[in-house]
Amino acid sequence: MRILVTGAAGFLGSHLVERLLAEGHEVIGMDNFITGSEQNLAHLAGNPRFSFIRHDVANFIFVPKKVDAVMHFASPASPNPNSPYGYTNLPIQTMKAGALGTHNTLGVARAHNARFLLASTSEIYGDPLEHPQKETYWGHVDPIGVRSVYDEAKRFAEALTMAYHRYHGIDTRIVRIFNTYGPRMRLDDGRVVPNFIQQALRKEPLTVYGDGSQTRSFCYVSDLIEGIYRLLLSDEHDPVNIGNPNEISILEFAETINRLTGNPAGIEFKPDLRLGDDPQRRQPDITRAKTILKWSPQVSLEEGIAATIPYFRSQMEQV
């Protein structure tokens, strides 16, 4: 296939582009580098099946020649208010990527009669009252909270995608992505994986806010991309959760990072400074992915972190 991938220079987008090329497809990458990095695509320079367009998806998108699929991954995604790349510091751009960007990419899919895959998020569930979260759960979201620029943009994107599917007959798919980690995450991303690994490599105590009892589930990037690729090739139109259902507390996660890096500095507890509507628990129910896609994560947390540490070490040495 000839596939347009927006957000191609991002953490997930670049891994997706790499996988699509490995499968023999032709890929057109698109990014405006607000949060993506040219370095993530540098190794693809000269690949005859890869081309790149620097463009903001909030503006009208023109793609020369026929495309067979459109995969919309463009959006800031970090919730950290201390990161310049966090969506609370890029609120308008985040909402435009989710609203106008989805409208424009759906327009490309419609013009080319192409299949469409939306990268949605577990954040559409908000601070969930259901645990674990099934795709049938409608969510518990503050529509005007500080996180709403991301949460509501993705909820709107899902609604628009389904409207195009029902009204225009577009062949759509929606993946709800849960916490994912791996090489090519930004050093200054501000989320817990890069924060903890960098602190550990500097032999500093890992900063845990509150008592560390809040939970997350961490999926290694190669597992996530496998699930997304299977969804692209499937005939499923309703949303599908892709993530690792193995729930772990932030405190347990910090202890794992210290052990794998040999960091003797331990853990430092600080007052809870997280955003007010930050979810306390996050765990996907992946029954649909197992049933429909025959997919489940294969990489253990320890294996994934061990594969991620060298990347952060090399990036820190370059700074």
**pLDDT for the residue 239:** 98
- 167 catalytic residue (yes or no): no
Choose, from 85, 125, 150, 229, the residue flagged as catalytic: 150
Cβ of 30: how many Cβ atoms within 10 Å? 28
* Residue bearing tokens 């952060």: 312
pLDDT-derived band at 261 (thresholds 50, 70, 90) equals very high
pLDDT-derived band at 210 (thresholds 50, 70, 90) equals confident
- Alpha-helical (H) ranges within 113-236 are 148-168, 192-201, 221-233
**CA-based nearest residue to 270, from 250, 285, 256:** 250
**pLDDT for the residue 46:** 92
**pLDDT for the residue 314:** 94
Q: How far apart are CA 244 and CA 173, in angstroms?
A: 20
pLDDT-derived band at 278 (thresholds 50, 70, 90) equals low
Least confident of 80-84, 135-139, 188-192, 279-283: 279-283
Least confident of 56-70, 103-117, 122-136, 267-281: 267-281
Burial of 3 (0-12, 13-18, 19+ CB in 10 A): buried
Q: How far apart are CA 50 and CA 27, in angstroms?
A: 5
**pLDDT for the residue 35:** 94
**pLDDT for the residue 80:** 81
Query: Which whole number is the average pLDDT over 25-29?
Result: 98
Write down the domain spans for the chain.
Answer: 2-183+219-244+283-298
**What's at 214, amino acid-wise?**
Q
Q: CA separation (Å) from 101 to 49, 153, 160, 250? A: 24, 10, 11, 33
DSSP-derived letter for residue 219 is: E
Residue 281 has pLDDT above 60, yes or no: yes
Assess contact for 37 and 9: CB atoms under 8 A: yes
pLDDT digits (tens, 9 = 90+) for 104-158: 999 999 999 999 999 999 999 998 999 999 999 999 999 999 999 999 999 999 9
Residue 262 has pLDDT above 90, yes or no: yes
DSSP-derived letter for residue 127 is: S
Superfamily of segment(s) 2-183+219-244+283-298: NAD(P)-binding Rossmann-like Domain (3.40.50.720)
Q: How far apart are CA 16 and CA 115, in angstroms?
A: 16
Residue 87 has pLDDT above 80, yes or no: yes
